[in-house]
Structure 1
Amino acid sequence: MADNHSVERGYKKDSYILAVQSNPIHGPSQIEEKRPIRELREPSPLKEESKNGAILTVEELNEYKNDPFWKKLRWILYLLFWLTWILMFVGAIIIIITSPGCAAIATKWWHSAIVYELWTPSFQDSNADGYGDLSGISSRLNQLRKIGVNTVFPRPFIAVDESGLGAVDYTKIHDKIGSLDQAMSFIEELRSKGLKIVIDIPIVATSIDHDWFQRSAKASLPENSDFASYYYWKRNVNPSDYVSEYKNLGIFYFHLQNRSDLAILNWKSPHVSKDIKKALSFWIDKGVDGFHFGHVDFLARSPDGMQPDWPEISRILEDVCEHVNMYRNESIVAAGKDIFLFASPEPLREEHKKLLIYDAKLDGIINTELTKVALQNKICYESEHHVAGCANEILSDLLSFHNEHSDIIPIWQFGNSFVSRVASRVGSRSHAELLALIQLILPGANIFYYGEEIALRDIENIPYPQRGAMPWDDSINSGFSSAPPTTLNAHLQPDYQNINFERQYSDTNGYVKMFKGLARMRQMNNVLISGKTYISKTVDNGFTLCRFDPTTSEKAIIVAVNFGKTSTVQSLADLPPFQKYSHAKTGQVIAINSNPHNYHLRETIDLSHMEIHLGPEEGIVFIVNA
């Protein structure tokens, strides 16, 4: 049995200890004397016994400390440690600098958008009055989503004149396409399907039927005095394509070229600026995702109205953009929302494009040069019976500009509501398909005019031949409307029973399937979203264009097209991916046009000879297996 004295365990008897003699009742009773300090420095019997074991005494360690061999070894290990640490640190820095991200570069939603511009009155009628409307568009949204569209651009949307260029009322819906309530339902339907909407706001001109113009023309009346400065009124000027007299009263107003029915707004007037900004705020609150500004080269003009004043145009647009960006953050509906602001002036010189992006702060300028591509016009070559050289030259110039200014996001468009359809301009549906194949591979945003996904042609001998009824199927009125044919607002395509959306969508090798595959691929493929672009020169009526990432081994994507009537061989040797991946032997076809000769979808092709063989009017897109 233990006695009342207990000693702290774990110490040997010769160690220095402080022992406490305990009494359960009376507490500590005695403290043992401390040993002399010199005894603490004496080796313990335990360490004396361990000379042949793992534990060494101080004296034994000193022997190794002063040994020349061990001193040298320690220095070598010390230097190796720091050299290894430095190399690892430098390696980590190199990896961080050179390694690609795991996903595509973060972009705004419009940077790789497929925007579908449509002429609302001709797209789909929902109430059998023969006139397309917003509810009709809603009924076709699933079909648009299926082919890869992510943004809808209905024209007209707000109340405008028949042409669509001049505003009639900035805060009302065009009365033939629906009401404001229907517009809100339409926007909500788009949102529920994950789609965006951009609308055209004519900030340049109004119809002369607009209330502003009517009151401005009668500004001598006290109640109209504020409207006196809404437009450019002049006396003692000569009439021209840009200036017309008002009702033979000796006063003249400025208008769009050869359009005396569309009067130009005077942005020097604070009333104009205030009212247009108010309209933009109105539509931001209604859920609109972007605004298109057409004919901005008419925002400010020279004194005779014949030349654009670009510095002033830039100042006006900067003011508009600042308002939109400020208001979207103030709006409860649009707080933090990215709103796309873009314009489509006539083809611009590079310095003017840079002015509108860097100074005016627009998000993009449509490359309207492509709307000029046509057989044997002033731009394309008279000697060609196709548009290969013309398209290649324009694209090369534009790509060179955007490669030089990579922060300017390109916007591509071959057709729209105001120009002849691509298939009619180039004289061939096959050539229109080839141009669309190229467009779908280009970097940036793409705008397709409705019907381009099935290579529609113009309808001859009507005021606006590019605005025919959309042929959905081969049923009565091509599925556009159930109204009696005699009451249709839009003219039917003469060949709608053969060329229609449903038929081409059902065709495994149809053009629509090609469009769908590439349009959807653009939303998820890093190379198509942010890769570099290279275009070859035209050889034998064909050329190639490729997208690639020079910093990674990610697979390159190449489109090869032949506009000629005979077969051609296009070299791949000069394309950057083949210079970097000289070991590349195969590729996989991911898209073909509707005129295949040598290839089929998902086919593996031999690239070991660094060339591609194309049949007449054939086009393919393939991924290089690097």
Structure 2
Amino acid sequence: MTDAEHRDKAPSTHQGGASLLSGDPNWWRQAVVYQIYPRSFADSNGDGIGDLPGITSRVPYLRDLGVDAVWLSPFYPSALADGGYDVDDYRNVDPRFGTLDDFDEMLAALTEAGIKLIIDIVPNHTSNQHEWFRAALAAPKGSPERDKYLFRDGTGPDGEEPPSDWTSAFGGSAWERVEDGQWYLHRFAVEQPDLNWDNREVREDFLQTLRFWSDRGVAGFRVDVAHMTAKRLPDELPTMEQLRAMPFDGNHPTLDRDEVHEIYAEWREVFNSYDPPRTAVAEAWVPAHRRARYASAEGLGQAFNFDLLQAPFEAEAFRDVIARNLELAAQSGSSTTWVLSNHDLVRHATRYGLPYDPDEFKQGRQWLLSRGTEPVLEADRGLRRARAATMLELALPGSAYLYQGEELGLHEVADIPDHARQDPTFTRKPGRDVGRDGVRVPLPWSLEGPSFGFSDGPPHLPQPSWFAELAASGQAEDAASTLALYREAIALRHRLQSEERLEWLENPPNVLAFARPNGWVCVTNFSAEPVGMPDGEVLLASSTLTTAVPGETTVWLQRCGRHRHETDADWHYS
């Protein structure tokens, strides 16, 4: 069978989906999900690029970590202009990552280990190498081929100026001129032309893509920039300043339009046609009050809550974020998600070791621009805080999303040579942004070797020498390691997790304490000074305990002889 034939012949589990997916259909509500950035996870063939067979070889590691699911970042054919988020073909595998057979083998290994698979889907744009876009360039103005994208005539003499002064998220103009003089919209890299979701053929093709991967046994989808698909561009385009000033009220020309939910209602019909239903989680950078519709049962079902990514390491800030998002989850009927790190943002072990910058998009950016020299990173403190924050995250009701390498306590890699950088933001925003490569450096699996066990050859991004100290093989035998902490915390979470609720407990200043059903208590000391130890049996702590809770530490306890409905008036710190 040729690869093209194989691409169109997915193993059908539509009628008998339980063969690959079984158990509680609500498994996702309080799941621990581990994000894999495939280029940087594990390389099986020595070319320095991570691949699907590499992931398969590390399934025992994921099983021992105890995660419920893997979220796999894009693995589709791509020129990698934006780390794979420029997709050439939504129903195939990039040859550098493997084949569809390799995908099926990886999925089978994950399933055998009891781990479900969520894959990334990128609906806002294709790559400029996608067959649709190549056909659009070959077709005349006003053609059905061009209608799949957002083409406009230019302004000025002979249309030589772009249709508006809009800038892309990666810097530079958001418009690119083609050979016949028209311009197309790209809100990200020039290689990522935005799709026209008013086009019925676009909608139908994505429904086919959802079925293709669901038939293969995929459990769900992470939807990239889910709030950007629906667009309505007026004849007279607003300026960039006007566009930025427009409210998120459902009528913004390019962001969070109300009709976006018509798209996802159709997706939900596809998801619900499977047994069990497929899941989805929206990446929707929208105001909190607009998030619920993405997470509704009629829509994608869950939406990312990124608020902890933007919060300082302070008790009151964490409490506000937690309370607000639990309330929003109750409004949508979904569960919330908790995220401390991902492939787009500075690792939280590093963020917490730097002075807090209230500008969410500059958290750690000054440090990156200085190549990790200014301000001075308090690495030990950052890791101590990160361990505490992760244990707090894992104690919360809702699902927890972990990013590869955080379980090893990895810091951001800031001093990557300019010639080795790959992120388009580095070249499109010179001097203002060094990009996201520092969080995408390949993982260290062993203490030695040309790439610390990631590959038999040099990695696609250089690894620092200090990675050897944090290699997975070394941490696996160390009971005090960050890897050991993650393994034990996830195992305890599975044993203790029950109803999706918590009770806030009285606490000293700069301490956050709450109880989950069944007597599980989480106490986080955000201050630098120790506080008294609460009553109860200590189950786990993020740092070494004495008779008190050390500064910047989380402790899990089991309340002795307590029942879930009893008053907390006698709960106290000794």
1:263 aligns with 2:198: no
State which drifts further: 495-504 or 450-459.
Answer: 495-504
SS in 2 for 1:198: strand
Q: TM-score scaled by structure 2?
A: 0.75
1:543 aligns with 2:482: no
- Match for residue 109 of structure 2 among 173, 189, 192: 189
Q: Which residue of 1 aligns with 2:72?
A: 154
Q: Which residue of 2 aligns with 1:454?
A: 408
**CA deviation string 1:118-168 (max 9, x = no partner):** 111111111112111111111111111112112112222223434232322
Q: TM-score scaled by structure 1?
A: 0.69
SS in 2 for 1:521: helix
Gap change, CA 1:481 and 1:408, over 3 Å in 2: closer
Letter in 2 for 1:622: L
Answer with 1 or 2: which has the greater Rg.
1
Q: Distance in 1 between matches of 2:216 and 2:128?
A: 27
CA contact under 8 A between 2:442 and 2:459: conserved in structure 1?
no
SS in 1 for 2:303: strand
Q: Which residue of 1 aligns with 2:357?
A: none
Letter in 1 for 2:486: F
Letter in 1 for 2:531: T
1:491 aligns with 2:465: no
SS in 2 for 1:405: helix
1:315 aligns with 2:262: yes
SS in 2 for 1:267: coil
Q: Which residue of 1 aligns with 2:339?
A: 413
Which residues of 2 match residues 173-572 of structure 1 at below 5 A? 173-220=93-140, 225-235=143-153, 236=155, 237-242=163-168, 243-247=174-178, 249-256=180-187, 258-303=188-233, 304=237, 306=243, 307=252, 308-326=255-273, 328=274, 336-350=275-289, 352-358=290-296, 360-373=298-311, 380=312, 386-402=313-329, 404-405=330-331, 407-427=333-353, 428-462=382-416, 463=421, 464-477=437-450, 479-484=452-457, 487-525=458-496, 528-535=497-504, 539-548=508-517, 555-569=518-532
Structure 1 gap ranges (5+): 1-104, 329-335, 374-379, 381-385, 549-554, 573-585, 600-612
Which residues of 2 match residues 131-146 of structure 1 at below 5 A? 131-146=49-64
Q: Distance in 2 between matches of 1:434 and 1:169?
A: 41
SS in 2 for 1:440: helix
Q: Which residue of 1 aligns with 2:572?
A: none
Q: CA deviation at 1:478?
A: 5.4
Gap change, CA 1:212 and 1:461, over 3 Å in 2: farther
Q: Distance in 1 between matches of 2:84 and 2:317?
A: 30
Q: CA deviation at 1:178?
A: 0.8
Q: Distance in 2 between matches of 1:363 and 1:300?
A: 18
Letter in 1 for 2:91: T
Q: CA deviation at 1:209?
A: 2.4
Q: Distance in 2 between matches of 1:457 and 1:492?
A: 12
Q: Distance in 1 between matches of 2:507 and 2:183?
A: 50
RMSD of aligned alpha carbons: 2.5
Q: CA deviation at 1:564?
A: 2.6
Q: Distance in 2 between matches of 1:159 and 1:537?
A: 53
Q: Distance in 2 between matches of 1:564 and 1:249?
A: 62
SS in 1 for 2:447: coil
Q: CA deviation at 1:347?
A: 4.1
**CA deviation string 1:434-467 (max 9, x = no partner):** 1100111111211100111122111113441101
Q: Which residue of 2 aligns with 1:44?
A: none
- Match for residue 88 of structure 2 among 153, 156, 168: 168
Gap change, CA 1:517 and 1:483, over 3 Å in 2: closer
Gap change, CA 1:558 and 1:244, over 3 Å in 2: same
Q: CA deviation at 1:276?
A: 1.3
Q: CA deviation at 1:341?
A: 1.4
CA contact under 8 A between 1:202 and 1:293: conserved in structure 2?
yes
**CA deviation string 1:583-613 (max 9, x = no partner):** xxx51111111x21326xxxxxxxxxxxxx4
Letter in 2 for 1:176: R
CA contact under 8 A between 1:344 and 1:365: conserved in structure 2?
yes
Q: RCO greater where, 1 or 2, for CA within 8 Å and sep 6 or more?
A: 2
Gap change, CA 1:190 and 1:136, over 3 Å in 2: same
Q: CA deviation at 1:482?
A: 4.3
Q: Distance in 2 between matches of 1:249 and 1:315?
A: 34
CA contact under 8 A between 1:410 and 1:445: conserved in structure 2?
yes
Q: Which residue of 2 aligns with 1:31?
A: none
1:624 aligns with 2:559: yes
Higher strand share: 1
Q: Distance in 1 between matches of 2:71 and 2:450?
A: 24
Q: CA deviation at 1:316?
A: 1.0
Gap change, CA 1:545 and 1:473, over 3 Å in 2: farther
- Match for residue 598 of structure 1 among 508, 528, 546: 546
CA contact under 8 A between 1:115 and 1:151: conserved in structure 2?
yes
Gap change, CA 1:207 and 1:482, over 3 Å in 2: closer
Structure 2 gap ranges (5+): 1-22, 156-162, 169-173, 244-251, 354-381, 422-436, 563-574
CA contact under 8 A between 1:239 and 1:245: conserved in structure 2?
no
Q: Distance in 1 between matches of 2:491 and 2:297?
A: 34
Q: CA deviation at 1:563?
A: 2.9
Gap change, CA 1:255 and 1:191, over 3 Å in 2: same
Gap change, CA 1:227 and 1:309, over 3 Å in 2: same
Q: CA deviation at 1:397?
A: 2.0
Q: CA deviation at 1:196?
A: 0.9
CA contact under 8 A between 1:342 and 1:366: conserved in structure 2?
yes
Gap change, CA 1:424 and 1:349, over 3 Å in 2: same
Gap change, CA 1:501 and 1:359, over 3 Å in 2: closer
CA contact under 8 A between 1:315 and 1:360: conserved in structure 2?
no
Q: CA deviation at 1:372?
A: 2.3
Q: Which residue of 2 aligns with 1:589?
A: 538
Q: CA deviation at 1:218?
A: 2.6
Q: Distance in 2 between matches of 1:539 and 1:357?
A: 35
SS in 2 for 1:199: strand
Q: CA deviation at 1:249?
A: 4.6
Q: CA deviation at 1:199?
A: 0.4
